[in-house]
Chains A and B, each alone.
Chain A
């Protein structure tokens, strides 16, 4: 398994029992996981690939993936901001795939 596949399996195992599944679009998921790996190498931590990290772990604490906004976004929209983690209903097309607005307060 390559690095992305290894991360996929590890996160799937950890997150599915919590009720969060990966987007069924595996190409999209692999792209995002690749972004997480890039950020880990670049910043030293896996910050959200869909947000601009500051490079300061403390400032980015809220956007370490899975971010603190995931729970509320999956509850409200069926998907996290990135469309990485979703609900089963979202994957099954029972929820409309709407744009998930940024919930994070604007960083200074």
Chain B
């Protein structure tokens, strides 16, 4: 599986934790950014990045290859990952 997996999350959000747990348990390599832990310009820049993928600016926003999945939608995440 070569597709990249990237997630924008919040450190406090239950759906984000559930998504991280699923990815960890499935031994998927992924990058994540907890947007609530960022400040100032860095945060503003990342917020704009999230909006490009998900104009609603909600979390988690998960990018799996060409798929953008908003929220902990387990079935869709599994399908996109080929699990």
* Interface majority SS (helix, strand, loop, mixed), chain A: loop
Contact of A50 among B14, B35, B55, B70 (CB under 8 A): B14
Q: Is A18 an interface residue (CB 8 A)?
A: no
Q: Interface size of B by Cβ–Cβ distance < 8 Å?
A: 20
* Interface majority SS (helix, strand, loop, mixed), chain B: loop
Q: Is A87 an interface residue (CB 8 A)?
A: no
Interface-facing stretch out of A1-9, A31-39, A70-78, A88-96: A31-39
Measured CB to CB, the nearest residue on chain A to B13 is A50
Q: Which residues of B contact A32 (CB under 8 A)?
A: 12, 14
Q: List B residues at the A interface (Cβ < 8 Å).
A: 10-17, 35-36, 47, 55-59, 70-73
Interface size class on chain A is: 20 to 34
Q: Is A61 an interface residue (CB 8 A)?
A: no
